[in-house]
Structure 1
Amino acid sequence: MKTNYIKTALLGTVLLAGTAQAQQFPLDNLKPRDQRGINIFENPKDSVTTFEKLKVRIGGAFALQFQGLKHESGADQSVAATQLYDIGNNFNLPTANLDIDVALYDGINLHLRTFLSSRHHNETYVKGGYIQIDKLDFIQKDFLSDFMKHSTIKFGHDEINYGDVHFRRSDNAYTTQNPFVGNYLMDAYATMIFAEYYYRRDGFIGMGGITNGRLNQNANGGTSPSLYGKIGYDKQLNSDLRVRITGSVYNTANTQRLDFYDGDRAGSRYYYVMENAAATSSANFRSGQVVPDFKNKVTSFMINPFVRYKGLEFFGTFESASGRNLAEVDRRTWNQYVGELIYRFGNDDNLYVGGRYNKVKGELATGNKVDITRFNIGGGWFMTKNILAKAEYVNQKYDGYPTSSILYDGKFNGFVLEAAISF
């Protein structure tokens, strides 16, 4: 405990010392992290430069929820292994992020995100970061400028650009881009060592990437390179209508441990739902999520259409993933279907209401075929571009699980309120 106090004090001293140098100004080719960043997917590509010298931008995010959920299970509640946790109406753990963005050189930016407080870890830890190169002027002025006008190179240890869902999910305390409180049932998210190349022109988007598929890095063998890519089209057709559609693929041929669908160390927003009575927050941080249990092989496809007409938005997801764990020979398949309908209105679209339907169907390692459905309805109010208040009702049901599982005929429902700040 004493060590944690010392680390916190040191961190505070560093931040206070850097306040005079750190400002809230835009950096080239990095999207803003407040209301202005909504519906911006990949970082923008702009040939105009404002770089003069090295600049550091300090940002952050904070989030707090009040949870009023109840859950039920058809499993025998007299058996200790299937007894449900006693949940009630109360506040969740407040979460906090620290963001550092650096303009290192003309056309070169660095991003680093640290989780100061999260559900799965008590300690402060680095979530991930990357370097983004939009110009090669560090080699020579205007070096390959015609090529780099449409190209971006990005590498680091961070979330990879598979699908468009990760642009709309809550990343620990950074939640302003998510119109709801929870993320998807099957959350294709993990931080990995990666390198990505982008080509964007006249609305066309092409991206190819490579990673080793690992969250925790070490130098032992037994891992093949994982390849992924995205192709799509994104265009503002007129002042009222924008259309975007992308298709993504990710493939891991072999790795010793794959965290692709269970790599969100920040944890689920729905605390303790469908968890055992002896659960702890850190050990059961995935409550309410669906984990296919693919540990060494996976091939996933995702298609995401997005349409915005005036204040009305539709965002959809179809995802199919097949893989296996270390003890299996044959692959299993899981499919996910999601539709979101959001209507934004008010001054500068500072109010919104919407609904989300999320369904997952798949096969457990035991052979059971299961399906899980979740329905969210809610809304939000941007009091300023940095402050968001959300409210949602969530209803989730489980079907097909064996009688020995705590998820047998399980369900939970209720409301969650969230207050979020990002800057």
Structure 2
Amino acid sequence: MKKISFSNLLAGLVLISFALPLAAQQQDMQYFRPWDKNGINVFEPIKGGEQPEYKGLSVRIGGSFTQDYQSLTHENRPYKKNYLWGTVVAEDSASAKLSGFNLAMANLNFDFQIEDGIRVCLENYMSSRHHNEFWVKGGYIQIDKLPMFGSPQWFTDYVRVKIGHFQPNFGDQQFRRTDGGNAIFNAFAENLILDAFTTEIGGEVYLFPAKGLMLMAGMTSGLINGSVDNFPSTPVGTNKEATKRNPSISLKAAYDNTFGDLRFRLSASMYNNGSSSRNTLYSGDRTGSHYFMVLEPAAGTYSANFTSGRVNPGITNRITAISINPFVKFKGLEVFGTYETIKGGTYAETSDRSWNQLAVEGIFRFLPNEQLYLGARYNTVSGRPSGAAFTKDVTINRTALVAGWFPTKNLLLKGEIVSQKYLDFPTSDIRNSGKFNGMMVEAVIGF
């Protein structure tokens, strides 16, 4: 959304100070995903089951904080072994090392139970790599009951409505990704190479017709910010229709059930926009990668070069994306998969380009309350970036091994070993024969 002025921030902090005593006295939220360890492997908030009793207005203030230490080494070979990115130089191994403490990231979350079955959420970034200033991520209202109409049972049991400025419910990887300071749901230090995340204004309707089954249809603005212009960008030539602002349509179906010690979930999602001046489904992150400055120009900055280790497919005008996510958990062992296929292009391109992503991760959680875990993830991406230099598909492969410890449900310490390689990039590109590897240590607080 937008950044907040100092005066507005100060006023907000004053309001927080008055709200804290109220928050301590209020009940838990209904139809709510916890911000701590209890929110792991929670996808859409559960519709059925026993919910906290509504006893009046409730205010819950939560936050997430993440501090990383990285020791990564990167290199490329556009002309010769070259660590100063973009300049022909002699080998300089000292500049290949990226070690130290990264910028700490922090989120601030407000949840309000304003009526029985009606909850409001406001999410904010207090500090992040991309936006160092206080930034409002978005807010929405979630309606699971209709108390104004006597709370009809059919709506309470089978229907949910979500309205506001929020992340479209595309894929299940969003429930396991890191979002700035909120890194407690992600077993690893970073998100996938193709990172599906944006926020748009609109609404979603959910149906829960049978146990374990969820169906969703949504319509959102297609832009990360609001716009009242029908043609918000200068068209290319006479093709004005190419930049006409159209809404995004999202569809999702998921089956999630437990059979004894076995939990099985399978979801399929589709996101489509036929014409947008600047769609950001794969470039909408306001916080940034936790792998700082790998394969970035020497003159780059943390804020401007915030997507280190990821790839932006550059599909900004028309896009169709499909995600399929299987999830299996048997006692302490869980396996989660992602298959994504993307097709589209910019309004200057006469033909579509495509991208594909595959990711598989296995996590083994053990000890009482699953305090410790070990995990591995393999992620591969292939597709053709935008630009005349790219005449064929490129490929990026990443392997990560991780160990984590929850001292409490609000604290997490992770250690990761990662290796990533870039294949088939042109010699003029900084990522030509690029690679990086090393370790990450990450401390997380979530409440």
TM-score computed with the length of structure 2 as normaliser: 0.90
Per the alignment, do residues 79 and 34 of structure 1 end up closer, same or farther by CA in structure 2, a change over 3 Å counting? Answer: closer
Deviation at 1:120, TM superposition (A): 0.7
Identify the match of residue 101 of structure 1 among 94, 108, 111: 111
Per the alignment, do residues 193 and 5 of structure 1 end up closer, same or farther by CA in structure 2, a change over 3 Å counting? Answer: closer
Letter in structure 2 aligned against 1:102: F
Residue in 1 that maps onto 2:352: 331
State whether structure 2 residue 238 is matched by structure 1 residue 237: no
Letter in structure 2 aligned against 1:16: S
Residue in 1 that maps onto 2:366: 345
> What's the CA shift string for 1:57-109, capped at 9, x where partnerless?
00111000001001001113498635797653100000111100000111100
Per the alignment, do residues 8 and 21 of structure 1 end up closer, same or farther by CA in structure 2, a change over 3 Å counting? Answer: same
Letter in structure 2 aligned against 1:183: N
What are the ranges of 5 or more consecutive residues in structure 2 without an aligned counterpart? 231-243
C-alpha separation in 2, matches of 1:86 and 1:9: 42
Deviation at 1:25, TM superposition (A): 4.7
Q: How does 1:52-201 map to 2 (within 5 A)?
A: 52-76=55-79, 77=82, 81=86, 87-138=97-148, 140-143=149-152, 145-200=153-208, 201=210
State whether structure 2 residue 238 is matched by structure 1 residue 217: no
User: The residue matched to 2:18 in structure 1 has which SS?
Assistant: helix
Letter in structure 1 aligned against 2:337: G
Contact 1:87 1:272 in 2 (8 A): no
Contact 1:368 1:402 in 2 (8 A): no
C-alpha separation in 2, matches of 1:226 and 1:88: 39
User: The residue matched to 2:123 in structure 1 has which SS?
Assistant: strand
Q: Calculate the aligned-residue CA RMSD, in Å.
A: 1.8
Letter in structure 2 aligned against 1:68: S
State whether structure 2 residue 303 is matched by structure 1 residue 298: no
C-alpha separation in 2, matches of 1:331 and 1:211: 23
Residue in 2 that maps onto 1:51: 54
Residue in 1 that maps onto 2:238: none
Per the alignment, do residues 411 and 129 of structure 1 end up closer, same or farther by CA in structure 2, a change over 3 Å counting? Answer: same
C-alpha separation in 1, matches of 2:156 and 2:9: 42
State whether structure 2 residue 430 is matched by structure 1 residue 406: yes
C-alpha separation in 1, matches of 2:68 and 2:415: 9
C-alpha separation in 2, matches of 1:419 and 1:53: 36
Per the alignment, do residues 47 and 354 of structure 1 end up closer, same or farther by CA in structure 2, a change over 3 Å counting? Answer: closer
Contact 2:111 2:122 in 1 (8 A): yes
State whether structure 2 residue 375 is matched by structure 1 residue 354: yes
Letter in structure 2 aligned against 1:28: Q
Deviation at 1:325, TM superposition (A): 1.1
Q: How does 1:214-293 map to 2 (within 5 A)?
A: 214-221=223-230, 222-238=244-260, 240-293=261-314
Per the alignment, do residues 208 and 335 of structure 1 end up closer, same or farther by CA in structure 2, a change over 3 Å counting? Answer: same
User: The residue matched to 1:146 in structure 2 has which SS?
Assistant: helix
Deviation at 1:202, TM superposition (A): 0.8
User: The residue matched to 1:232 in structure 2 has which SS?
Assistant: strand
Deviation at 1:14, TM superposition (A): 2.9
> What's the CA shift string for 1:34-72, capped at 9, x where partnerless?
111111100111364511111110011100000100100
User: The residue matched to 1:318 in structure 2 has which SS?
Assistant: strand
Identity of aligned residues (%): 41
C-alpha separation in 2, matches of 1:298 and 1:415: 35
> What's the CA shift string for 1:308-352, capped at 9, x where partnerless?
011100000111000101220100110000000000001100100
C-alpha separation in 1, matches of 2:13 and 2:190: 30
State whether structure 2 residue 412 is matched by structure 1 residue 388: yes
Deviation at 1:12, TM superposition (A): 3.6
Residue in 2 that maps onto 1:26: 28
Contact 2:397 2:421 in 1 (8 A): yes
Residue in 1 that maps onto 2:212: 203
C-alpha separation in 1, matches of 2:428 and 2:285: 27
Contact 1:378 1:392 in 2 (8 A): yes
Letter in structure 1 aligned against 2:67: L
C-alpha separation in 1, matches of 2:118 and 2:284: 28
Q: How does 1:365-380 map to 2 (within 5 A)?
A: 365=386, 366-380=390-404
TM-score computed with the length of structure 1 as normaliser: 0.95
Deviation at 1:232, TM superposition (A): 1.9
C-alpha separation in 1, matches of 2:138 and 2:97: 32
User: The residue matched to 1:18 in structure 2 has which SS?
Assistant: helix
User: The residue matched to 2:38 in structure 1 has which SS?
Assistant: helix
Deviation at 1:389, TM superposition (A): 0.3
User: The residue matched to 1:285 in structure 2 has which SS?
Assistant: coil
Contact 2:74 2:96 in 1 (8 A): no
C-alpha separation in 2, matches of 1:22 and 1:235: 34
Per the alignment, do residues 312 and 80 of structure 1 end up closer, same or farther by CA in structure 2, a change over 3 Å counting? Answer: closer
C-alpha separation in 2, matches of 1:78 and 1:341: 34
C-alpha separation in 2, matches of 1:173 and 1:100: 15
Contact 1:87 1:273 in 2 (8 A): no
C-alpha separation in 1, matches of 2:286 and 2:432: 26
Deviation at 1:4, TM superposition (A): 7.1
User: The residue matched to 1:130 in structure 2 has which SS?
Assistant: strand
Aligned residue pair count: 418
The more displaced of 197-206 and 89-98 is 197-206
Per the alignment, do residues 189 and 82 of structure 1 end up closer, same or farther by CA in structure 2, a change over 3 Å counting? Answer: farther
Per the alignment, do residues 214 and 312 of structure 1 end up closer, same or farther by CA in structure 2, a change over 3 Å counting? Answer: same
